[in-house]
C-alpha cells in the first residue's frame, strides 16, 4: 500500500480533494448571506461549481489509479 511515488501522490490529491470539497475548504468559497454577489461563479451557484470541481479531481485520481496502478490486482503496491 502506498509504496510507489505515484500512489502517494494520488492518495494525497484524493485526500486533499476530500478536505477541500466537503471539508473545511468549503469555507473558502461559502457565500456570505450578507453579500448576495458572492453566491455565483461564472453564472453558477458557487457551491455547485465547487462540488463539481472537486468531483472531477476525485474522478481524475480514480481514473489514473485505474489505468496506472490497479492493473494486476495489487491495488497501490505497484
Partner 1 sequence: MSHFHILAITDIAGGHLPHFMLGGYMLLLVWLCYLGYRKGKATEEDYYLAGRGQGAIVTSLTIMATFFSSAALLGIPGVVYRDGVSFFLFALNLPVAGAAVYLLGDRIRKLGKARGYVTPADLVGDYYGGTEVRLLAAATSALYVLPYVIMQIKAGGYLAQRLFPETPPLEFFGSSCTMYETGVWALSFLTMVYVLVGGMRSVAWTDVIQGILLIFGMLVAGLATIAYFGGLGGYFEAVSALPAKALSAPGYSDKWNAGMLFTICAFASLGSIIQPGQWMRFYAAKDSNTLRKSALVFSVVLPVCFIFGIMLVALGGQVLFPPEITAEGIIPHPSVGTKSSEVDQIVIVMIQRVVPEMLGITFGAVVVTMILIAVLAASMSTADSNLHALSAVLTRDVYDRFIRPQADERERTWVGRIVIVLATMAAVALVEWSQKAGAFNPLELISQLMLLAIAFSSQLLPIAIDVLFLNKGTRQGAIAGLTAGIGLVLLLTIKPEWSFGITKIVHVSAIGIAANAIVFGLVSRVTKKVPQKRIDEFRRIIKAKG
Binding footprint of partner 1 on the chain (CB under 8 A): 1, 14, 17-19, 21-27, 30-33, 36, 39-40, 43-48, 50-52, 54-55, 58-59, 61-63, 65-66, 70, 72-77
Burial class (CB in 10 A: 0-12, 13-18, 19+), 10: buried
Q: Where are the beta strands (DSSP E) in the chain?
A: 40-41, 44-45
Please state the closest distance from residue 65 (CB atom) to partner 1, in A.
Answer: 7
CA dist 25 and 14 (Å) reads 14
Nearer to partner 1, 5 or 57 (CB): 57
Please state the closest distance from residue 5 (CB atom) to partner 1, in A.
Answer: 18
Amino acid at each position: 500500500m502506498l509504496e510507489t511515488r505515484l500512489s502517494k501522490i494520488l492518495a494525497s490529491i484524493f485526500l486533499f480533494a476530500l478536505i477541500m470539497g466537503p471539508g473545511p475548504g468549503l469555507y473558502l468559497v461559502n457565500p456570505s448571506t450578507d453579500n448576495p454577489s458572492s453566491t455565483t461563479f461564472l453564472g453558477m451557484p458557487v457551491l455547485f461549481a465547487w462540488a463539481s470541481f472537486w468531483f472531477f479531481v476525485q474522478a481524475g485520481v480514480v481514473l489514473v489509479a485505474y489505468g496506472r496502478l490497479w492493473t494486476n490486482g495489487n491495488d497501490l503496491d505497484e
